[in-house]
Protein backbone atom coordinates (compact mmCIF):
# COMPACT_ATOMS: atom_id res chain seq x y z
CA UNK A 1 0.00 0.00 0.00
CA UNK A 2 2.69 2.59 0.82
CA UNK A 3 4.43 2.12 -2.55
CA UNK A 4 1.17 2.37 -4.48
CA UNK A 5 0.22 5.42 -2.43
CA UNK A 6 3.50 7.22 -3.15
CA UNK A 7 3.37 6.22 -6.84
CA UNK A 8 -0.07 7.79 -7.25
CA UNK A 9 0.99 10.94 -5.42
CA UNK A 10 4.09 11.47 -7.56
CA UNK A 11 2.18 10.66 -10.74
CA UNK A 12 -0.47 13.25 -9.94
CA UNK A 13 2.19 15.89 -9.24
CA UNK A 14 4.02 15.15 -12.50
CA UNK A 15 0.82 15.25 -14.56
CA UNK A 16 -0.18 18.57 -13.03
CA UNK A 17 3.26 20.04 -13.67
CA UNK A 18 3.26 19.01 -17.33
CA UNK A 19 -0.10 20.67 -17.85
CA UNK A 20 1.02 23.97 -16.25
CA UNK A 21 1.52 27.22 -18.13
CA UNK A 22 3.74 30.22 -17.44
CA UNK A 23 2.04 33.61 -17.27
CA UNK A 24 3.68 36.94 -17.94
CA UNK A 25 5.92 38.18 -20.78
CA UNK A 26 8.88 36.16 -22.01
CA UNK A 27 12.00 38.32 -21.87
CA UNK A 28 13.89 39.26 -25.02
CA UNK A 29 17.06 41.34 -25.10
CA UNK A 30 16.61 44.93 -26.28
CA UNK A 31 17.71 45.65 -29.82
CA UNK A 32 21.07 47.48 -29.95
CA UNK A 33 20.97 51.10 -31.18
CA UNK A 34 21.41 51.62 -34.90
CA UNK A 35 24.31 54.08 -34.46
CA UNK A 36 27.45 53.12 -36.38
CA UNK A 37 29.81 55.52 -34.60
CA UNK A 38 30.29 57.66 -31.54
CA UNK A 39 31.46 61.14 -32.53
CA UNK A 40 29.06 63.86 -33.62
CA UNK A 41 29.01 64.94 -37.28
CA UNK A 42 31.91 67.25 -38.10
CA UNK A 43 34.05 66.23 -35.13
CA UNK A 44 37.67 65.31 -35.78
CA UNK A 45 39.31 62.09 -34.69
CA UNK A 46 42.71 61.49 -33.15
CA UNK A 47 44.27 60.63 -36.52
CA UNK A 48 43.47 64.07 -37.92
CA UNK A 49 46.20 65.70 -35.82
CA UNK A 50 49.55 65.81 -37.60
CA UNK A 51 52.97 66.42 -36.13
CA UNK A 52 52.07 64.64 -32.88
CA UNK A 53 54.80 62.58 -31.18
CA UNK A 54 53.75 58.95 -30.73
CA UNK A 55 50.64 59.31 -32.91
CA UNK A 56 47.61 57.14 -32.19
CA UNK A 57 44.94 55.69 -34.44
CA UNK A 58 41.47 54.27 -33.88
CA UNK A 59 40.90 50.62 -34.79
CA UNK A 60 37.12 50.59 -35.19
CA UNK A 61 35.62 47.14 -34.73
CA UNK A 62 38.46 45.80 -32.58
CA UNK A 63 37.89 44.34 -29.14
CA UNK A 64 40.21 45.03 -26.25
CA UNK A 65 41.87 42.14 -24.46
CA UNK A 66 41.25 41.30 -20.81
CA UNK A 67 44.73 42.35 -19.67
CA UNK A 68 44.40 45.72 -21.42
CA UNK A 69 46.90 47.41 -19.10
CA UNK A 70 49.72 45.42 -20.71
CA UNK A 71 49.33 47.71 -23.74
CA UNK A 72 51.32 50.29 -21.73
CA UNK A 73 54.31 47.89 -21.79
CA UNK A 74 55.23 48.23 -18.12
CA UNK A 75 56.26 45.21 -16.06
CA UNK A 76 55.76 47.17 -12.83
CA UNK A 77 52.23 48.15 -13.86
CA UNK A 78 51.38 44.56 -14.77
CA UNK A 79 52.63 43.40 -11.39
CA UNK A 80 50.57 46.03 -9.58
CA UNK A 81 47.36 44.99 -11.32
CA UNK A 82 47.99 41.32 -10.60
CA UNK A 83 48.55 42.10 -6.93
CA UNK A 84 45.35 44.12 -6.82
CA UNK A 85 43.32 41.32 -8.40
CA UNK A 86 44.66 38.94 -5.77
CA UNK A 87 44.28 41.14 -2.71
CA UNK A 88 41.61 43.80 -3.23
CA UNK A 89 38.83 43.48 -0.65
CA UNK A 90 36.16 45.16 -2.77
CA UNK A 91 36.65 42.40 -5.33
CA UNK A 92 36.40 39.79 -2.57
CA UNK A 93 33.12 41.33 -1.41
CA UNK A 94 31.74 41.35 -4.96
CA UNK A 95 32.62 37.65 -5.37
CA UNK A 96 30.87 36.79 -2.10
CA UNK A 97 27.80 38.79 -3.17
CA UNK A 98 27.66 36.84 -6.43
CA UNK A 99 27.93 33.52 -4.59
CA UNK A 100 25.15 34.62 -2.26
CA UNK A 101 22.92 35.48 -5.23
CA UNK A 102 23.66 32.13 -6.89
CA UNK A 103 22.65 30.27 -3.74
CA UNK A 104 19.48 32.33 -3.55
CA UNK A 105 18.53 30.95 -6.98
CA UNK A 106 18.78 27.46 -5.50
CA UNK A 107 16.69 28.51 -2.51
CA UNK A 108 13.87 29.77 -4.71
CA UNK A 109 14.23 26.88 -7.14
CA UNK A 110 13.64 24.35 -4.38
CA UNK A 111 9.92 25.21 -4.52
CA UNK A 112 9.74 23.55 -7.95
CA UNK A 113 10.22 20.13 -6.34
CA UNK A 114 8.19 18.14 -3.79
CA UNK A 115 9.13 18.87 -0.20
CA UNK A 116 9.66 15.75 1.90
CA UNK A 117 10.00 15.63 5.67
CA UNK A 118 10.28 12.97 8.31
CA UNK A 119 8.58 13.46 11.66
CA UNK A 120 8.56 11.42 14.82
CA UNK A 121 6.67 11.96 18.10
CA UNK A 122 6.16 10.42 21.47
CA UNK A 123 3.11 11.36 23.57
CA UNK A 124 1.78 10.12 26.90
CA UNK A 125 -1.99 10.23 26.84
CA UNK A 126 -4.66 9.99 29.52
CA UNK A 127 -7.91 9.31 27.68
CA UNK A 128 -11.22 10.36 29.28
CA UNK A 129 -13.58 7.52 28.34
CA UNK A 130 -16.57 9.49 29.60
CA UNK A 131 -16.04 11.80 26.63
CA UNK A 132 -17.03 8.92 24.37
CA UNK A 133 -19.81 7.69 26.71
CA UNK A 134 -17.80 4.65 27.77
CA UNK A 135 -17.63 3.30 31.30
CA UNK A 136 -14.53 2.25 33.11
CA UNK A 137 -11.26 3.68 34.32
CA UNK A 138 -9.44 6.09 32.07
CA UNK A 139 -6.50 4.36 30.31
CA UNK A 140 -3.02 5.89 30.41
CA UNK A 141 -0.62 4.92 27.63
CA UNK A 142 2.32 6.04 25.47
CA UNK A 143 1.73 6.69 21.77
CA UNK A 144 4.65 6.38 19.34
CA UNK A 145 4.33 7.86 15.83
CA UNK A 146 6.81 8.12 12.95
CA UNK A 147 6.52 8.61 9.22
CA UNK A 148 7.31 10.71 6.15
CA UNK A 149 5.22 13.48 4.66
CA UNK A 150 5.34 15.04 1.19
CA UNK A 151 3.93 18.35 0.01
CA UNK A 152 3.96 19.87 -3.43
CA UNK A 153 2.67 23.21 -4.69
CA UNK A 154 1.56 22.89 -8.29
CA UNK A 155 3.00 25.71 -10.34
CA UNK A 156 0.03 25.70 -12.68
CA UNK A 157 0.47 29.31 -13.78
CA UNK A 158 4.24 29.58 -13.64
CA UNK A 159 4.56 31.85 -10.61
CA UNK A 160 7.37 29.79 -9.11
CA UNK A 161 9.15 29.48 -12.45
CA UNK A 162 9.00 33.24 -12.84
CA UNK A 163 10.39 33.66 -9.33
CA UNK A 164 13.32 31.44 -10.24
CA UNK A 165 13.77 33.39 -13.48
CA UNK A 166 13.71 36.66 -11.55
CA UNK A 167 16.27 35.48 -9.01
CA UNK A 168 18.50 34.08 -11.76
CA UNK A 169 18.46 37.47 -13.48
CA UNK A 170 19.41 39.16 -10.22
CA UNK A 171 22.27 36.68 -9.82
CA UNK A 172 23.34 37.51 -13.36
CA UNK A 173 23.35 41.18 -12.38
CA UNK A 174 25.60 40.35 -9.44
CA UNK A 175 27.93 38.64 -11.88
CA UNK A 176 28.13 41.75 -14.03
CA UNK A 177 28.65 43.85 -10.91
CA UNK A 178 31.63 41.64 -10.13
CA UNK A 179 32.91 42.29 -13.65
CA UNK A 180 32.37 46.01 -13.11
CA UNK A 181 34.33 45.79 -9.85
CA UNK A 182 37.17 44.13 -11.77
CA UNK A 183 37.04 46.86 -14.39
CA UNK A 184 36.97 49.64 -11.78
CA UNK A 185 39.83 48.08 -9.85
CA UNK A 186 42.14 47.62 -12.81
CA UNK A 187 41.27 51.11 -14.04
CA UNK A 188 42.01 52.69 -10.67
CA UNK A 189 45.35 50.92 -10.42
CA UNK A 190 46.39 52.14 -13.86
CA UNK A 191 45.12 55.66 -13.15
CA UNK A 192 47.05 55.90 -9.90
CA UNK A 193 50.21 54.57 -11.54
CA UNK A 194 49.91 57.19 -14.28
CA UNK A 195 49.21 59.84 -11.66
CA UNK A 196 52.40 58.88 -9.82
CA UNK A 197 54.36 59.12 -13.07
CA UNK A 198 52.75 62.47 -13.91
CA UNK A 199 53.35 64.03 -10.50
CA UNK A 200 56.95 62.88 -10.44
CA UNK A 201 57.47 64.43 -13.89
CA UNK A 202 55.90 67.67 -12.68
CA UNK A 203 58.15 67.63 -9.63
CA UNK A 204 61.20 67.29 -11.86
CA UNK A 205 59.93 70.19 -13.94
CA UNK A 206 59.50 72.33 -10.81
CA UNK A 207 62.97 71.36 -9.64
CA UNK A 208 64.31 72.54 -13.01
CA UNK A 209 62.39 75.78 -12.57
CA UNK A 210 63.91 76.24 -9.12
CA UNK A 211 67.35 75.60 -10.57
CA UNK A 212 66.65 78.31 -13.17
CA UNK A 213 65.51 80.63 -10.39
CA UNK A 214 68.74 80.01 -8.51
CA UNK A 215 70.69 80.66 -11.69
CA UNK A 216 68.75 83.86 -12.22
CA UNK A 217 69.37 84.95 -8.61
CA UNK A 218 73.07 84.39 -9.11
CA UNK A 219 72.89 86.46 -12.28
CA UNK A 220 71.24 89.34 -10.42
CA UNK A 221 73.70 89.13 -7.57
CA UNK A 222 76.60 89.27 -10.04
CA UNK A 223 75.00 92.25 -11.75
CA UNK A 224 74.51 93.93 -8.36
CA UNK A 225 78.15 93.41 -7.46
CA UNK A 226 79.07 95.08 -10.76
CA UNK A 227 76.71 97.94 -10.01
CA UNK A 228 74.25 96.98 -12.76
CA UNK A 229 71.47 95.90 -10.37
CA UNK A 230 70.02 97.07 -7.07
CA UNK A 231 68.42 95.60 -3.96
CA UNK A 232 64.97 95.67 -5.55
CA UNK A 233 66.18 93.42 -8.37
CA UNK A 234 67.69 91.03 -5.84
CA UNK A 235 64.52 90.91 -3.75
CA UNK A 236 62.41 90.21 -6.81
CA UNK A 237 64.66 87.32 -7.84
CA UNK A 238 64.59 85.93 -4.29
CA UNK A 239 60.81 86.28 -4.22
CA UNK A 240 60.48 84.34 -7.48
CA UNK A 241 62.66 81.57 -6.06
CA UNK A 242 60.62 81.43 -2.85
CA UNK A 243 57.31 81.36 -4.75
CA UNK A 244 58.44 78.52 -6.97
CA UNK A 245 59.45 76.50 -3.91
CA UNK A 246 55.76 76.58 -2.90
CA UNK A 247 54.91 74.47 -5.95
CA UNK A 248 56.57 71.37 -4.52
CA UNK A 249 54.55 70.64 -1.32
CA UNK A 250 51.19 70.25 -3.16
CA UNK A 251 52.85 67.92 -5.67
CA UNK A 252 54.40 65.89 -2.86
CA UNK A 253 50.95 65.61 -1.30
CA UNK A 254 49.46 64.40 -4.59
CA UNK A 255 52.24 61.83 -4.86
CA UNK A 256 51.65 60.59 -1.32
CA UNK A 257 47.90 60.29 -1.86
CA UNK A 258 48.39 58.34 -5.11
CA UNK A 259 50.84 55.98 -3.41
CA UNK A 260 48.49 55.45 -0.48
CA UNK A 261 45.54 54.76 -2.81
CA UNK A 262 47.58 52.25 -4.77
CA UNK A 263 48.53 50.44 -1.57
CA UNK A 264 44.88 50.23 -0.49
CA UNK A 265 43.85 48.99 -3.94
CA UNK A 266 46.17 46.00 -3.70
CA UNK A 267 44.89 45.24 -0.19
CA UNK A 268 47.80 46.60 1.87
CA UNK A 269 48.14 49.36 4.43
CA UNK A 270 50.24 52.34 3.24
CA UNK A 271 52.71 51.72 6.08
CA UNK A 272 53.28 48.15 4.90
CA UNK A 273 53.98 48.71 1.22
CA UNK A 274 55.37 51.31 -1.16
CA UNK A 275 54.61 51.19 -4.91
CA UNK A 276 57.30 51.53 -7.56
CA UNK A 277 58.34 54.98 -8.75
CA UNK A 278 56.52 55.00 -12.08
CA UNK A 279 57.86 57.28 -14.83
CA UNK A 280 56.13 58.45 -17.98
CA UNK A 281 59.20 57.31 -19.90
CA UNK A 282 58.63 53.81 -18.52
CA UNK A 283 55.11 53.68 -19.96
CA UNK A 284 54.56 53.17 -23.67
CA UNK A 285 51.65 55.07 -25.15
CA UNK A 286 49.53 52.55 -27.12
CA UNK A 287 49.54 53.50 -30.78
CA UNK A 288 46.41 51.52 -31.72
CA UNK A 289 43.15 52.24 -29.91
CA UNK A 290 40.65 49.34 -30.09
CA UNK A 291 37.18 50.84 -30.50
CA UNK A 292 34.21 48.45 -30.53
CA UNK A 293 31.21 49.07 -32.74
CA UNK A 294 28.20 50.55 -30.86
CA UNK A 295 26.19 47.37 -31.46
CA UNK A 296 28.96 45.38 -29.74
CA UNK A 297 29.50 47.85 -26.91
CA UNK A 298 26.05 47.12 -25.43
CA UNK A 299 27.08 43.47 -25.14
CA UNK A 300 30.43 44.06 -23.46
CA UNK A 301 30.06 46.88 -20.93
CA UNK A 302 29.19 45.41 -17.52
CA UNK A 303 27.09 48.40 -16.47
CA UNK A 304 24.89 47.98 -19.57
CA UNK A 305 24.63 44.23 -19.03
CA UNK A 306 23.77 44.75 -15.35
CA UNK A 307 20.99 47.14 -16.40
CA UNK A 308 19.80 44.49 -18.87
CA UNK A 309 19.73 41.87 -16.10
CA UNK A 310 17.65 44.25 -13.98
CA UNK A 311 15.28 44.60 -16.93
CA UNK A 312 15.04 40.81 -17.18
CA UNK A 313 14.25 40.55 -13.47
CA UNK A 314 11.55 43.21 -13.82
CA UNK A 315 10.01 41.25 -16.71
CA UNK A 316 9.89 38.07 -14.64
CA UNK A 317 8.34 39.97 -11.74
CA UNK A 318 5.33 40.73 -13.95
CA UNK A 319 4.78 37.00 -14.33
CA UNK A 320 5.08 36.49 -10.59
CA UNK A 321 2.49 39.17 -9.89
CA UNK A 322 0.16 37.84 -12.61
CA UNK A 323 0.28 34.29 -11.23
CA UNK A 324 -0.81 35.62 -7.83
CA UNK A 325 -4.18 36.45 -9.40
CA UNK A 326 -4.91 32.79 -10.22
CA UNK A 327 -5.74 29.75 -8.04
CA UNK A 328 -3.05 27.69 -6.37
CA UNK A 329 -3.24 23.98 -5.62
CA UNK A 330 -1.23 22.20 -2.94
CA UNK A 331 -0.87 18.44 -2.79
CA UNK A 332 -0.06 16.75 0.51
CA UNK A 333 0.58 13.18 1.48
CA UNK A 334 1.73 11.49 4.64
CA UNK A 335 2.40 7.96 5.73
CA UNK A 336 2.61 7.43 9.49
CA UNK A 337 3.15 4.49 11.79
CA UNK A 338 1.45 4.61 15.19
CA UNK A 339 1.76 2.13 18.05
CA UNK A 340 1.65 1.85 21.82
CA UNK A 341 5.06 0.18 21.90
CA UNK A 342 8.14 0.89 19.74
CA UNK A 343 8.38 -2.73 18.60
CA UNK A 344 4.94 -2.50 17.00
CA UNK A 345 5.69 0.56 14.82
CA UNK A 346 6.61 -1.17 11.59
CA UNK A 347 3.67 -3.54 11.37
CA UNK A 348 1.33 -3.00 8.42
CA UNK A 349 -1.61 -2.73 10.77
CA UNK A 350 0.00 0.35 12.34
CA UNK A 351 0.15 2.28 9.04
CA UNK A 352 -2.01 5.29 8.30
CA UNK A 353 -1.89 6.95 4.88
CA UNK A 354 -3.37 10.34 4.09
CA UNK A 355 -3.45 12.06 0.71
CA UNK A 356 -5.07 15.42 0.13
CA UNK A 357 -5.27 18.43 -2.10
CA UNK A 358 -6.10 22.00 -1.28
CA UNK A 359 -7.14 24.82 -3.55
CA UNK A 360 -6.86 28.50 -2.79
CA UNK A 361 -8.42 30.93 -5.24
CA UNK A 362 -8.39 34.72 -4.81
CA UNK A 363 -11.92 36.12 -4.72
CA UNK A 364 -11.65 39.65 -3.40
CA UNK A 365 -8.53 41.53 -2.33
CA UNK A 366 -9.70 45.09 -2.77
CA UNK A 367 -7.85 45.46 -6.08
CA UNK A 368 -4.46 44.81 -4.48
CA UNK A 369 -3.54 41.94 -6.80
CA UNK A 370 -4.31 43.97 -9.92
CA UNK A 371 -2.39 46.90 -8.47
CA UNK A 372 0.55 44.60 -7.73
CA UNK A 373 0.59 43.40 -11.34
CA UNK A 374 0.33 46.95 -12.68
CA UNK A 375 3.09 48.08 -10.33
CA UNK A 376 5.33 45.33 -11.71
CA UNK A 377 4.57 46.51 -15.25
CA UNK A 378 5.48 50.09 -14.33
CA UNK A 379 8.68 48.83 -12.68
CA UNK A 380 9.55 47.15 -15.98
CA UNK A 381 8.98 50.43 -17.84
CA UNK A 382 11.28 52.19 -15.37
CA UNK A 383 13.95 49.52 -15.80
CA UNK A 384 13.68 49.81 -19.58
CA UNK A 385 14.17 53.58 -19.40
CA UNK A 386 17.14 53.09 -17.05
CA UNK A 387 18.65 50.59 -19.48
CA UNK A 388 18.29 52.96 -22.42
CA UNK A 389 19.76 55.83 -20.40
CA UNK A 390 22.73 53.65 -19.41
CA UNK A 391 23.36 52.87 -23.08
CA UNK A 392 23.17 56.54 -24.05
CA UNK A 393 25.50 57.59 -21.25
CA UNK A 394 27.96 54.87 -22.27
CA UNK A 395 27.98 56.12 -25.85
CA UNK A 396 28.46 59.65 -24.55
CA UNK A 397 31.39 58.55 -22.42
CA UNK A 398 33.09 56.92 -25.40
CA UNK A 399 32.46 60.00 -27.56
CA UNK A 400 33.87 62.26 -24.83
CA UNK A 401 36.99 60.12 -24.46
CA UNK A 402 37.63 59.95 -28.21
CA UNK A 403 37.37 63.72 -28.44
CA UNK A 404 39.60 64.09 -25.39
CA UNK A 405 42.30 62.04 -27.11
CA UNK A 406 41.95 64.20 -30.22
CA UNK A 407 42.33 67.37 -28.21
CA UNK A 408 45.11 65.86 -26.11
CA UNK A 409 47.16 65.47 -29.26
CA UNK A 410 46.39 69.04 -30.25
CA UNK A 411 47.25 70.29 -26.77
CA UNK A 412 50.54 68.39 -26.72
CA UNK A 413 51.66 70.00 -29.98
CA UNK A 414 50.65 73.44 -28.72
CA UNK A 415 52.44 72.96 -25.40
CA UNK A 416 55.59 71.78 -27.15
CA UNK A 417 55.61 74.91 -29.29
CA UNK A 418 54.93 77.10 -26.26
CA UNK A 419 57.80 75.48 -24.35
CA UNK A 420 60.27 75.86 -27.22
CA UNK A 421 59.23 79.46 -27.79
CA UNK A 422 59.35 80.45 -24.10
CA UNK A 423 62.76 78.85 -23.56
CA UNK A 424 64.18 80.68 -26.59
CA UNK A 425 62.67 83.91 -25.34
CA UNK A 426 64.14 83.40 -21.85
CA UNK A 427 67.62 82.86 -23.27
CA UNK A 428 67.38 86.08 -25.29
CA UNK A 429 66.05 88.05 -22.30
CA UNK A 430 68.92 86.81 -20.15
CA UNK A 431 71.44 87.90 -22.75
CA UNK A 432 69.74 91.27 -22.92
CA UNK A 433 69.79 91.50 -19.12
CA UNK A 434 73.51 90.82 -19.04
CA UNK A 435 73.94 93.56 -21.64
CA UNK A 436 71.86 95.91 -19.53
CA UNK A 437 69.13 96.31 -22.14
CA UNK A 438 66.26 94.97 -19.99
CA UNK A 439 65.50 94.82 -16.30
CA UNK A 440 64.97 91.91 -13.95
CA UNK A 441 61.18 92.21 -14.34
CA UNK A 442 61.44 91.12 -17.96
CA UNK A 443 63.60 88.17 -16.92
CA UNK A 444 61.09 87.08 -14.27
CA UNK A 445 58.20 87.39 -16.71
CA UNK A 446 60.05 85.24 -19.23
CA UNK A 447 60.77 82.68 -16.52
CA UNK A 448 57.10 82.49 -15.56
CA UNK A 449 56.20 81.71 -19.16
CA UNK A 450 58.77 78.94 -19.22
CA UNK A 451 57.44 77.61 -15.91
CA UNK A 452 53.88 77.47 -17.21
CA UNK A 453 54.98 75.88 -20.48
CA UNK A 454 57.06 73.16 -18.77
CA UNK A 455 54.28 72.15 -16.41
CA UNK A 456 51.73 72.36 -19.19
CA UNK A 457 53.79 70.09 -21.43
CA UNK A 458 54.21 67.47 -18.70
CA UNK A 459 50.50 67.55 -17.89
CA UNK A 460 49.62 67.25 -21.58
CA UNK A 461 51.82 64.17 -21.85
CA UNK A 462 50.23 62.56 -18.79
CA UNK A 463 46.72 63.41 -19.95
CA UNK A 464 47.19 61.33 -23.10
CA UNK A 465 47.99 58.29 -20.95
CA UNK A 466 45.04 58.94 -18.65
CA UNK A 467 42.56 59.40 -21.49
CA UNK A 468 43.90 56.34 -23.30
CA UNK A 469 43.27 54.26 -20.17
CA UNK A 470 39.84 55.86 -19.86
CA UNK A 471 39.00 54.78 -23.40
CA UNK A 472 39.97 51.19 -22.64
CA UNK A 473 37.66 51.28 -19.62
CA UNK A 474 34.85 52.84 -21.66
CA UNK A 475 35.17 49.93 -24.09
CA UNK A 476 34.53 47.43 -21.28
CA UNK A 477 38.11 46.62 -20.38
CA UNK A 478 38.00 43.02 -21.64
CA UNK A 479 36.37 41.65 -18.48
CA UNK A 480 35.06 38.63 -20.46
CA UNK A 481 38.60 37.30 -20.82
CA UNK A 482 39.12 37.70 -17.08
CA UNK A 483 35.87 35.85 -16.33
CA UNK A 484 36.81 33.01 -18.68
CA UNK A 485 40.26 32.77 -17.08
CA UNK A 486 38.70 32.74 -13.60
CA UNK A 487 36.20 30.00 -14.50
CA UNK A 488 38.90 27.69 -15.90
CA UNK A 489 40.93 27.76 -12.70
Interval 443-488: pLDDT, tens: 888 888 988 899 999 999 999 999 999 999 999 988 877 777 666 5
Residue 137 has pLDDT above 90, yes or no: no
pLDDT, residue 324, reads: 92
Q: What is the mean pLDDT of residues 113-140?
A: 78
Residues 6+ apart with CB under 8 A from 71: 284, 286, 472
Q: Tell me, what's the pLDDT at 403?
A: 93
Query: How many other β-carbons are positioned within 10 Å of the β-carbon of residue 411?
Result: 19
> In terms of C-beta density within 10 A (0-12 exposed, 13-18 middle, 19 or more buried), how is residue 118 classed?
exposed
Could you tell me the pTM of the whole model? Answer: 0.84
**Number of other CB atoms surrounding residue 371 within 10 Å:** 12
What is the average pLDDT across 374-383? 96
Rg of the chain taking only CA atoms, in angstroms: 38
Has residue 300 got a pLDDT over 80?
Answer: yes
In this prediction, residue 5 has a pLDDT band, given cuts at 50, 70 and 90, of: very low
Residue 350 has pLDDT above 70, yes or no: no
Lowest mean pLDDT segment, chosen from 82-91, 339-348, 441-450: 339-348
In Å, how far from its chain's centre is CA 80? 19
The C-alpha atoms of residue 46 and residue 167 are separated, in whole angstroms, by 44
Q: Which ranges constitute the DSSP H helices of 435-478?
A: 440-474
Question: Taking the domains of the chain in order of start, what are their residue ranges?
Answer: 20-114+157-328+369-488
Q: Tell me how crowded residue 109 is: count the other CB atoms within 10 A of its CB.
A: 15
Percent of the chain with pLDDT over 90: 55
Q: Name the percent of the chain lying above pLDDT 70.
A: 92
248-281 pLDDT per residue, tens: 999 999 999 999 999 999 999 999 988 999 999 9
Angle between helix 159-225 and helix 302-323 axes, rounded to 10 deg: 150
How does residue 381 score in pLDDT terms, banded at 50, 70 and 90? very high
* CATH class of segment(s) 20-114+157-328+369-488: mainly alpha
Strand, helix or coil at 471? helix
Confidence category of residue 348, pLDDT binned at 50, 70, 90:
low
**Largest Cα–Cα distance of the chain, in whole Å?**
140
Could you please report the per-residue DSSP string of 72-86?
G--HHHHHHHHHHHH
Q: Could you tell me how many residues make up the chain?
A: 489
Dist CA 226 CA 438 (whole Å): 16
Q: Is the pLDDT of residue 9 over 50?
A: no
Cα separation of 9 and 230, whole Å? 110
pLDDT at 53: 82
Give residue 452's Cα distance to chain centre.
38
- Structure confidence at residue 246 as a pLDDT band (50, 70, 90): very high
Q: What is the pLDDT of residue 254?
A: 96
CA distance 210 to 213: 5
State the pLDDT at residue 489. 53
pLDDT at 16: 47
pLDDT given for residue 334 in this prediction: 85
Amino acid sequence: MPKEFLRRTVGLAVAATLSACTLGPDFSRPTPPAADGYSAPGEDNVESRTGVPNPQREALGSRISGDWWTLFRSADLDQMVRQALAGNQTLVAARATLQQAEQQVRVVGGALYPQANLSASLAREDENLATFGLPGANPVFNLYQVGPSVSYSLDLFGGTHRQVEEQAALAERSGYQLDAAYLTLTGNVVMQAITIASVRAQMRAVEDIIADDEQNLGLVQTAKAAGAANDVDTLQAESQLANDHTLLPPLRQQLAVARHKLAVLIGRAPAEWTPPDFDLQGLELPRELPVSLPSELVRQRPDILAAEADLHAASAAIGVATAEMYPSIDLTASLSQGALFPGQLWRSAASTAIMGAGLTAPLFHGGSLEAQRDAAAHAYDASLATYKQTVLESFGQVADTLQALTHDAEQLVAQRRALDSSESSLNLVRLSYRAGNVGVIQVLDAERLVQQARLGFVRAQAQRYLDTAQLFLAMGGGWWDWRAEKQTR
